[in-house]
Amino acid sequence: MSRPIESYGLIGNTIGAALVGLDGSIDWLCLPRFDSDACFAALLGTPEHGRWRIAPDGESRATRRYLPGTAILETTFETPQGCARVVDFMPFSSDPQAVELVRIASGVQGRVAMSMEFVLRFGYGRDVPWVRRRDYGLSAVAGPDAVQLVTPVALRGEGLKTLGQFTLEPGVAVPFTLSYHRSHRMPPFVEDRQVLLERTAGQWREWSARCVFPEDTPAEWREAVRRSLITLKAMSHQPTGGLVAAPTTSLPERIGGVRNWDYRFCWIRDATLTLYALLNSGYFEEAAAFRLWLLRAAAGDPAQMQIMYGLAGERRLTEVELPWLPGYEGSRPVRIGNAAHGQLQLDVYGELMDVLHAARRSRLSPDEDAWHFQRALLDHLERIWREPDAGMWEVRGAPRHFTYSKMMSWVAFDRAVKAVEEFGLDGPADRWRRLREEIRGDVLAHGVDRERGTFVQSYGSKAIDASLLLMAETGFVAARDPLFRGTVRAVERELLEDGFVLRYRPEVSDDGMPGSEGTFLMCSFWLVDAYVLLGRYDDARRLFGKLLSVRNDLGLLSEQYDPRSRRLLGNFPQAFSHVGLVNAVHNLVQAGGPAMQRASRDASPGPEAPTPGMHSEAEGPATRID
């Protein structure tokens, strides 16, 4: 039986990551990178597909926390005989081909009998390795992959598993190190685990202490932002600067459903809001590295630009199914790779132009070559913006003229005009202005339901799409525009479930995939931002409080949430959800937050943007969402 998604915690080292269950079992680990084959895949199957569990024998009650300011997980087990603690972390590594996962079990009170079960299965749970006993523990190899398990505990093999028993008392600490290396290389030296723990904790705390907050940020919000930023850092790939959407694949959008995708890649679409989250929180180095990753990944023929890339900018992300894995709670198929990388999605051109414009305005060091590349992108977009596409939700049905895609094409030419006007860059600004107005007229003519006074998901459709909440934030319309107000009302009327926002209703949108899904957490954060732009601060704070309440006990969010079952759904943790949380806090506590920065030419609130804390009566009565 699969454990709830929210029962897991994340540990990582900016190269790879693992999910650790509340029961002391590591059920997901890909080595050495986020997108490598999993060697523990019980998350998508059974313990026989690989896991590493350290826990007390018999009955116990577990609580856990992150060590403050770190991604180091501490789980405390209380038993009738006493209390024990397990600390899990992944030390930072200078060699991306040699990474470690360290577990330290220690006694707190009484005598606690502990068991270790180590089931190593390379190839996403399929490949049983060749295991050999060593004086330090064991070594295992399968093709290109090899690990050492280093521990003083006596180990024994039983039924293609490795088992061990030990007893903990106060003052007794028992270390375990899983050390990965390529099988043709010598294994790395394993350092003293306590020294590694102290060093890793110090590195995390030094990084998290750099976080800056707007004045008057409530303490609870500060901690939520800090935890989200630590999570984003743990999901970033330090060697390249990329940021994975999630460290997992195939966690379902509906239990038992088929909407199960691989998110261990980097999406262009996430770029602008991620950059704002990093810049507004004081992480300029990470923002600069992310911008460079974007430029490297997207470089080349603009006609070949993809919506997503691998960690190092890989372009071939072939999607295949793994039939030997039964899936999370029977949610099949299990997929690796992502076929959506080959889709045409026009909005990514606008996203890339927007993020590079934001980088210039934030005074990140200029990149002269970037503008030449951007001009080539604009020439290509000028030729294709009228075409139908797959839209930002990557629907696998027939291409359509998605309103958001057209609006983001407008953003691309708008940011190009502003690059000329604000930064003196060379370009045909008059032509771009004409294109900008042509696209705007096209959207207003075909992407609007005049009867209901709202933008619609696609031309000729009656369906509403949560991406339309960004129409004001991107600057396409002012927040005071009746069409934007009507769109927000339509989202409240048609897409809210228990106060949370669906990205769309599949049965209305005909997205080419069967089945329903949970509410989309990033879309709910977009509604928070829309409320801020409209001056509806009571509603914004109320919805933000609801979003904070669905985090798990460690402060982590997945992609979606099911209000009926009160369970997190989708890949976990989800970078975009945590980006939304960070930006929402900045929007709620300062007039020039990311929503204002993106929408406004000069990053000032403007006459249509009320000051936080004030309620605009012109917007009408606040809609209850609790």
What confidence category does residue 189 fall into, taking pLDDT thresholds of 50, 70 and 90? confident
Q: What is the mean pLDDT of residues 301-308?
A: 94
pLDDT in tens, 378-433: 999 999 999 999 999 988 788 999 999 999 999 999 999 999 999 999 999 999 99
> Quick one: CA torsion of 287, 289, 292, 298, rounded to 10 degrees?
-80
DSSP per-residue letters across 420-455: HHHH---S-HHHHHHHHHHHHHHHHHHSEETTTTEE
Please indicate whether residue 602 or residue 171 has the higher confidence score (pLDDT): 171
pLDDT(363) > 90? no
pLDDT(82) > 50? yes
At residue 617, the pLDDT reads 27
Q: What is the mean pLDDT of residues 207-216?
A: 93
Q: What is the mean pLDDT of residues 44-73?
A: 97
Sign of CA dihedral 22, 26, 28, 30: positive
- Where residue 515 falls (left for φ over 0; alpha for ψ -120 to 50; beta otherwise) is left
Contacts 24+ apart (CB under 8 A), 150-159: 150/175, 150/176, 150/177, 150/179, 150/190, 151/116, 151/175, 151/176, 151/177, 153/116, 155/118, 157/131, 157/133
At residue 619, the pLDDT reads 33
Closest CA to 551 of 571, 577, 532: 577
pLDDT in tens, 98-114: 999 999 999 999 999 99
Q: Write phi, then psi, for 13 (nearest 5 degrees).
A: -135, 25
Strand segments, DSSP code E, in 80-154 are 82-89, 100-110, 112-119, 130-134, 137-142, 145-150
Q: Contact 153/176 with Cβ under 8 angstroms?
A: yes
What confidence category does residue 362 fall into, taking pLDDT thresholds of 50, 70 and 90? confident
DSSP per-residue letters across 236-305: EETTTTEE-S-S-B---SSTT-S---B--SEEGGGHHHHHHHHHHTT-HHHHHHHHHHHHHHH-S-GGG-
Closest CA to 600 of 475, 415, 417: 475
Mean pLDDT for the chain overall: 92
At residue 364, the pLDDT reads 82
Q: What is the mean pLDDT of residues 568-575?
A: 98
Q: What is the mean pLDDT of residues 32-57?
A: 98
pTM of the model: 0.93
* CA 565 – CA 27 distance, rounded (Å): 23
